[in-house]
Amino acid sequence: MGTAVERTGAAAGDCLNVGVLMLPGQVPLDLAGPLEVLATAAKFGAPIQIRYLGPRNSLAWLGPLTLSGIEPLPAEALPLDLLVIPGQDRASCDAESRRACLAWLRDQANASAALMAICSGALLLGEAGLLDGRRCTTHHALLDELRHVAPKARVRGDCIFVEDGRCLTSAGISTGIDTMLHWVTRTQGHRLAQQVARELVLYWRRSGQEPQLGIWLEGRNHVDDRIHRLQDALAAAPGEFWSMSRMAEQAAMSERHLRRRFRALTGISILDYLTRQRLQLARQMMCDTDWGLDRIAQASGFGDARQLRRVWQRFETESPAAWRRRSDTSQPAGIERSARIP
């Protein structure tokens, strides 16, 4: 992409300039979710200015609602800290608009410090050749299409968002919120990102390493209300002590029947299900806290670091320390932290 603008944050008094590319067929949550993150960050003091740019000055959006006030695509590239490309229903985007946006994207890319594609927005980046040689992702239903339009890209389907250099791509829909929170962390710091997540009543801020169809959705494709009730309770507090008798009481069935019923409906044992949830909680704590491994093990229900490491080896190829270094998103780019795992 050539030489690009490089900014990792705004100095006092400076604005973070964000551009949003508006295309016909724009998916509402792909736009509204990330924008709400930015609006909340601004509420807590982040100096953010947003411009909406596109080939049309208004768009049909949601039923009878329309979006207006869209600026025309500028003839010259804009110096942007972030350019957001929300997903679109590609069948609703006419060829002329897409061609205009592709040409503009290629010119604009070098003037943008970061490019963020939400869901099918990654297809537009791929068509523009901006993902060549880069790791990237999109919605799980569009992975093959992304591989087709961007054959030189390194497409991943095992995560909710990917950051490779200046390019951020997300799995789509709600994951645009996670991706924008990640960018806020990079530019404004961990503390403000946590304030935003709390204000938006997010259960936690996902790191990007989670699979698109992960443990929080795994084993939920059934209609047994009692098992769903138990799964809700486990998801709400995986770090608590859960004996078989307590789980059976929660599900209003005997322990023996719970074991058989849970495996029949979900395909895994109830103890494996709880272990995977605890492991995911431990991963999140590694990303969002400075705690040592012993404290994380206790808080996530494993008891001690030795037991956590033992379970970790079943699911990961690298050590907890190596995984944590690779997944660290708690500071803006360029700021190092000391090792936190003893």
Domains and CATH numbers, the chain: 16-199 (3.40.50.880), 215-319 (1.10.10.60)
> Span 220-238, mean pLDDT?
85
Task: Write down the pLDDT at residue 51.
Answer: 96
Task: Write down the pLDDT at residue 46.
Answer: 95
Residue 161, judged by CB atoms within 10 A of its CB (0-12, 13-18, 19+), counts as buried
Q: Which of 33-47, 91-105, 254-268 has the lowest mean pLDDT?
A: 91-105
Q: Which amino acid appears at position 298 of this protein?
A: Q
pLDDT classification of 7: cutoffs 50, 70, 90: very low
- Residue 207 reports pLDDT greater than 70: no
Task: Write down the pLDDT at residue 212.
Answer: 45
Query: Which long-range CB contacts under 8 A does 228-232 form with residues at least 24 apart?
Result: 230/258, 230/262, 231/273
- Residue 190 reports pLDDT greater than 70: yes
- Residue 208 reports pLDDT greater than 60: no
Task: Write down the pLDDT at residue 275.
Answer: 94
> Bigger pLDDT: 308 or 331?
308
> Bigger pLDDT: 222 or 177?
177
How far is CA 129 from each of CA 63, 78, 143, 255, rounded to the nearest angstrom? 33, 19, 16, 56
